[in-house]
Amino acid sequence: MKTMSFLLVDDDADDRELFIDAVNEIDQNISCITATNGQQAIEFLRNAESTLPDFIFLDLRMPRLDGKKCLAEIKGDEKLRHIPVIIYTTSKGVDESKELRDMGAFYFISKPNNPEEIYFLISFVMEEQFNAARRKLES
């Protein structure tokens, strides 16, 4: 079975560490790649030598290339548009979340404040991946 991989795009080092710790608690075989801004993420994703992640967790408020512009770049790229992008941010704006869904975001989640909530989030994503694989096998 293929190892699952996540790309976490977040400029906050503490949030990245909390996220990676939660992922490792769930399954140490999940690969976590990080980028500190949208530009770095796009460069990684477009690098021919990079293995594409199964999911992208994308913060909105970042320097160089913010999350909204990064999402537009991902969804506008034929090679990348199939990757589910989960908006992972401190923003709680309903209008903004609707706009991001319309742009192709898979899910919009306000950043949890504690590791248990991150654990739940990652478990949810893994369950979605499992269900998608099962549906593919059944069809």
Domain boundaries, the chain: 5-138
Q: DSSP for the chain?
A: -PPPEEEEE-S-HHHHHHHHHHHHHH-TTSEEEEESSHHHHHHHHH-TTSPPPSEEEE-SS-SSS-HHHHHHHHHT-TTTTTS-EEEEES---HHHHHHHHHTT-SEEEEPPSSHHHHHHHHHHHHHHHHHHHHHHHH-
- pLDDT tens-digit series, residues 47-81: 989 899 999 999 998 888 999 999 999 999 999 99
- pLDDT tens-digit series, residues 79-132: 999 999 998 877 776 677 788 888 999 888 777 777 777 777 777 776 766 556
Write the single-letter amino acid at 77.
D
pLDDT beyond 60 at 133: no
Cβ–Cβ < 8 Å for 23, 53:
no
What superfamily in CATH does domain 5-138 come from?
Response regulator (3.40.50.2300)
